[in-house]
Structure 1
Amino acid sequence: MKKLLFFLFVIAAIVVFAFQFQPVKQTVTAVVTKPTYLNKSGKTIKERVKIPEGFTRVLYDSVSFQNYIRHQNLKKFGTKVMNYDGEHYFYQLGHVGVLDIDVPSNGLQQCADALIRLRSEYLWRTNQKSKIGFKFTSGHYCSWKKYAEGYRPKINGNKVTFHKTAQSDNSKVNFYKYLNLIYTYSGTMSLNNELKEIKSIKDLKIGDMLIIGGFPGHVVMIADISQNENGERLFLLIQGNTPAQSIHLLKNLDNSAISPWYKLQLNSEISVPGFTFTNSKFVRFKDE
């Protein structure tokens, strides 16, 4: 019996020893990573976001509004969206960049107003000041030209008349006072009613806006467009918001595989951080 136990012990020891020298099978696990389109060191919208493979950026004239928006300066990556009162906006997970544009402390520069400012400052910088003008929600047109000449609105309900009650002043300081007036009496509803509707995705340009007019409504602006050989288009979006806050470059929370790019469609539901457009409509500023 002792011999049998000794024999079994020897056999077991040989087996254990042999297994120590068996080749080890290595298991290779494939790690799938999605591409990132962010260049965190990018200082403009164009530099901050890379284009997907097979796409190219749509070209525009160097002095165009489209080129102006595409090359808007951004603050350092990771900059928080700020409210007009200097406090951080409560939600900081919906953006990949903050435009280097101040937020007036009066709280007037909300979603539509932020985009009105971008358009107005472009016209100012390119010496097209005579084109600066917007309709109030009442439908009455208020131009920078007449404001600079000293004309001010007298508002009584929906009735608006303009009277020369101030001295002529073409200064930049007075220009911002004019914009504050526009912010007060214009908004998503007036833009929705005033501006030309774009009825084809292939006709969209940088600077066009996805809009729903109302109280509240919302509006975001196309900040860049890329396209492939098949005509498929991808879009970047920027927005201001309510309360008045930093204009920021949006993530695509519904499709992280292409974020921050968006695929846009007409007459469809489009979600952006903080808002859902239930039936997409696009409009364009005048003279574009």
Structure 2
Amino acid sequence: MFNYVCYMMKKLLVFLFLILVIAVFALQFQPVKQTVAAVITKPTYLNKGGATIKERVKVPNNYKRVVYDSTSFQYYIRHQNLKNYGAKVINYDGEPYFYQLGHLGVLDIDVPSNGLQQCADALIRLRSEYLWETNQKSKIGFEFTSGHYCSWNKYAEGYRPKVNGNKVTFHKTASSNHSKINFYNYLNLIYTYSGTMSLNNELKEITSIKDLKIGDMLIVGGFPGHVIMIADIVENEAGERRFLLIQGNTPAQSIHLLKNLDDTSISPWYKLQLNSEISVPGFTFTNSKFVRFIDE
């Protein structure tokens, strides 16, 4: 009798052990299956062969790109040429930036070796190049951090600033020169005396997400501050919007199209909100503020 009881107990233990093994296997298998499925079905908005911002990033389902006139600043930014996919972000000294995981495109724009074209300056460069190429040179002008306005027209006529602390006066000390080379000399001057603080103080603030356009900028003015630019916008029938972002940085480096590392499910698209925390590769805006270049 005792042997029979022992025999039955062993069979019961073996049975319970088998049930436990099956249960553990089932619990482990299901998440793995779900994870694999999620990786396989996760949408990608990347087109590696895309040669412009518009071509490099696909539109999410049920969204459409906001339409802009072909002569507009918005169209100009959306159609910026990109280097081949995989291009590295390069510092002004020709060396690769230490962090290469935050971008999926590099704009085909040179980085001057003088190191002046940092975050705000890169976006000033884009704006100025657009105005130059569309024969709107009279609109090229920016405030110094001191608040003094410096226009390309006056610079081209030979006027140069004399800076004494926060006091700036302009004097004609050079001959007239309206060349493209001198235009870049002008921009170097702007890079030296302008920055996030001057843009923050000078430019028009946008107070509604629905009013944002390509070319508008997310900014925090300071020393240091930071600023990035909206490079594309899509919208669905419910009015919900998604945004692409580009930035230069410090040290002076390639302007690049950003990934969304906080929400990889929609990367590189971003959801943007006013007065909220917005993180981009390398920087966090703790209280978002958006500004727009004048005349846009």
Counterpart position of 1:18: none
Aligned equivalent of 1:214, options 222, 232, 250: 222
Q: Counterparts of 1:170 and 1:41 in 2: how far apart (Å)? A: 38
The one-letter amino acid of 2:260's match is N
Higher Cα radius of gyration: 1
1:145-160 alignment runs, 5 A limit: 145-160=153-168
Counterpart position of 2:78: 70
Aligned equivalent of 2:251, options 238, 243, 246: 243
Q: Counterparts of 2:42 and 2:125 in 1: how far apart (Å)? A: 36
Aligned equivalent of 2:233, options 204, 222, 225: 225
- Count of residue pairs the alignment pairs up: 262
Deviations 1:242-283 (A, max 9, x none): 000000000000000000000000000000000000000000
Show structure 1 runs of 5+ residues with no match: 1-26
Q: Counterparts of 1:134 and 1:68 in 2: how far apart (Å)? A: 20
Counterpart position of 1:174: 182
Is residue 86 of structure 1 aligned with residue 94 of structure 2? yes
> What is the deviation of 1:51?
0.6
**Scaled by the length of structure 1, what TM-score is found?**
0.90
Q: Counterparts of 1:103 and 1:88 in 2: how far apart (Å)? A: 12
Counterpart position of 1:48: 56
Counterpart position of 1:100: 108
Q: Counterparts of 1:234 and 1:244 in 2: how far apart (Å)? A: 28
Q: Counterparts of 2:232 and 2:71 in 1: how far apart (Å)? A: 15
Counterpart position of 1:282: 290
Q: Counterparts of 2:291 and 2:151 in 1: how far apart (Å)? A: 20
Aligned equivalent of 2:148, options 111, 129, 140: 140
After superposing on structure 2, the runs of 4+ consecutive aligned residues of structure 1 that deviate more than 6 Å are: none
> What is the deviation of 1:209?
0.1
Q: Counterparts of 1:34 and 1:74 in 2: how far apart (Å)? A: 25
The one-letter amino acid of 2:129's match is E
**What SS class does the counterpart of residue 225 from structure 1 fall into?**
strand
Counterpart position of 1:128: 136
RMSD between aligned alpha carbons? 1.0
Show structure 2 runs of 5+ residues with no match: 1-28
Deviations 1:51-96 (A, max 9, x none): 1000000000000000000000000000000000001000000000
**What SS class does the counterpart of residue 177 from structure 1 fall into?**
helix
